[in-house]
Chain A
Amino acid sequence: MAMTKHTELVLDRRFDPKTCRHSINGQVQVLHCHHYATLYTQLANDCGMLDGKRLLAEVSEDTFYNILRDYYAANNISNIEDRISIAEQYFAISGLGKMTVRCASPESGEVELSTSHVDQGWIKKWGHKDQPVNFIGWGYISAMFSAVFDKPTRAYSVTETQSIVSGAETSRFEVVAI
């Protein structure tokens, strides 16, 4: 099915001189670098006793689910194509990479990243790795599907099937409803 991008993400950027905090669309935002993101990712990866990978993915899911839901509600966005387009754009403006949703339904989907902050940051810092590291992306995709299809969080299982960090040209994720 051919898809047209309908809606452009609108960003309300503000700086509060009293607190010296920056916000986008009412959410306090901070800049960090790939060193910070990959060290958090490494910490999650190494923390097997708590399933740190899932912990980081769930934090990402919870954070971005609320942002996307709030945005859709505030801007009356109910169309699936528009919702997906907004989510792809938000991923990009966050500096997390270029995401394309290849297909999506309430039951399943496929997502591809042609660039990835976490993967490319990991390679820049430590080189390639044979296992996926983009737990932030996993959580984001889960949040996106739940927000797009009006489901609660933890409604989807996300599996990274190929990874830029492992040498693939793109990262791919498969999504299925739980």
Chain B
Amino acid sequence: MAVRRIDESTPQYEALETTIDRKKIIQALSKLEVVSNEEGLIPAFNVFVNQMPAKFWNSFADRLTRKVGPDLIEAAEWLLVNAAHECGYHTGYGIITSEEWKSVVAPMITRIPEDILHGAFAVFTAWGWAKSEIVELIPNERMVVRAYDYYEADTVTYGIRSRPCAYMIRGVAAAFMDLAYGGPYDPTGQTGLRTFKCVQTKGIECGDEYGEFVVTRADEN
């Protein structure tokens, strides 16, 4: 197996250098209070937002994947990841074009799209999806994300799972790469979406210290 040495001239090293101040973004955006309108809806970022217990999403994914049986589990997992992939693509675009982004994150951006990606994971952290960051980034090719705390790991309260289950992070991580390198945003999702795919290689729910997510080109074997 070939070993790729990391030095300052490798793209993944350069792409990890960022002017994004994660701490500042998390401090600022974690205070944002989401409030529904008089109609009981939360229209924001060009989508309708909902604010529900994490347990709800976890329970459906867990019961579904436990019940479908071994022949269909991968198909069920793909559909759960896909839900997050589409969510991450459309809502992600809404976030990186929002007023909140323009006021807090945009002034920190010097390199596009890499700083946007780093900023997106800071927002992802601030809004409670997963305490996560990029640990490896080869522009337009590969990204590795680590999540040190995430609600999807709560499906285990004792012991460890045999299969990882952070379907939401998988989908959103791939979507963020779609937005960064998949071409112009397409509101129909016909192009741009699913140019990248993500596999989960480690999981807190599987006994690892953190979740790890590897995003690569969708056409790569």
A93-B48 contact in complex given A32-B57, A59-B56, C-beta closer than 8 Å: no
Instruction: Report chain B residues within 8 Å CB of A24.
Output: 51
Number of residues from B at the complex interface, CB < 8 A: 50
Query: Could you tell me the distance between the alpha carbons of A35 and B187 in the complex, rounded to whole angstroms?
Result: 12
Name the interface residues of B46-69: CB closer than 8 Å to any CB of A. 47-57, 59-60, 63-64, 67-68
In residues 13-52 of chain A, which contact B (Cβ within 8 Å)? 13, 15, 17, 19-22, 24, 27-37, 39-40, 43-44, 47, 49-50, 52
- Least CB distance from B71 to A in Å reads 11
Chain A nearest CB, measured from B119 CB (Å): 15
The 3 closest A-B pairs by CB, nearest first: A92-B40, A39-B83, A95-B42
Given A28-B151, A31-B127, A117-B41, A94–B50 Cβ distance below 8 Å? yes
Which residues on the A side are within 8 Å of B56 (C-beta)? Answer: 59-60, 63-64
Could you show 18 A-B contacts with beta carbons less than 8 Å apart? A17-B26, A21-B151, A22-B30, A24-B51, A28-B53, A28-B55, A30-B128, A30-B129, A31-B51, A33-B48, A33-B49, A34-B50, A35-B83, A47-B68, A63-B59, A95-B41, A121-B47, A124-B48
CB atoms of A99 and B40 under 8 A apart? yes
Measured in the bound complex, the distance between the Cα atoms of B42 and A115 in whole Å is 11
By a CB distance below 8 angstroms, the chain A residues around B48 are: 33-34, 95, 117, 120-121, 124
A52 partner residues in chain B, CB cutoff 8 A: 64
Output the nearest chain A residue to B42 by Cβ-Cβ distance.
A95
Which residues of A sit under 8 angstroms from B63, Cβ to Cβ?
Answer: 55, 59
Nearest CB on B from A66, distance (A): 8
Which residues of chain A are near B127, meaning CB under 8 Å?
A: 22, 31
Does chain B have a CB within 8 A of A138?
no
Residues of B within 8 A of A55 (CB): 60, 63-64, 67
- Asked if A30 meets B57 with Cβ closer than 8 Å, knowing A43-B83, A94-B50, the reply is yes
Q: Does A114 contact B (CB under 8 A)?
A: yes
Chain A residues contacting B67 (CB-CB under 8 Å) are 50, 55
User: Closest residue of chain A to B23, judged by CB?
Assistant: A17
Taking CB atoms, residues of chain A closer than 8 Å to B64 are 43, 47, 50, 52, 55
- 18 new A-B pairs (CB below 8 Å) besides A19-B131, A30-B51, A31-B127? A20-B126, A20-B128, A20-B131, A22-B127, A29-B128, A30-B52, A31-B49, A32-B49, A33-B90, A34-B48, A35-B47, A55-B63, A59-B56, A59-B59, A95-B50, A96-B40, A98-B39, A117-B41
Distance between B48 CB and nearest chain A CB, rounded to angstroms = 4
Instruction: Give the B-binding residues of A (Cβ under 8 A).
Output: 13, 15, 17, 19-22, 24, 27-37, 39-40, 43-44, 47, 49-50, 52, 55-56, 59-60, 62-64, 67, 91-99, 114-115, 117, 120-121, 124
Q: Which of A19, A21, A49 has the most CB of B within 10 A?
A: A21
- How far apart sit A120 and B49, CA to CA, in the bound complex (Å)? 11
| A88 to chain B: closest residue by CB | B40
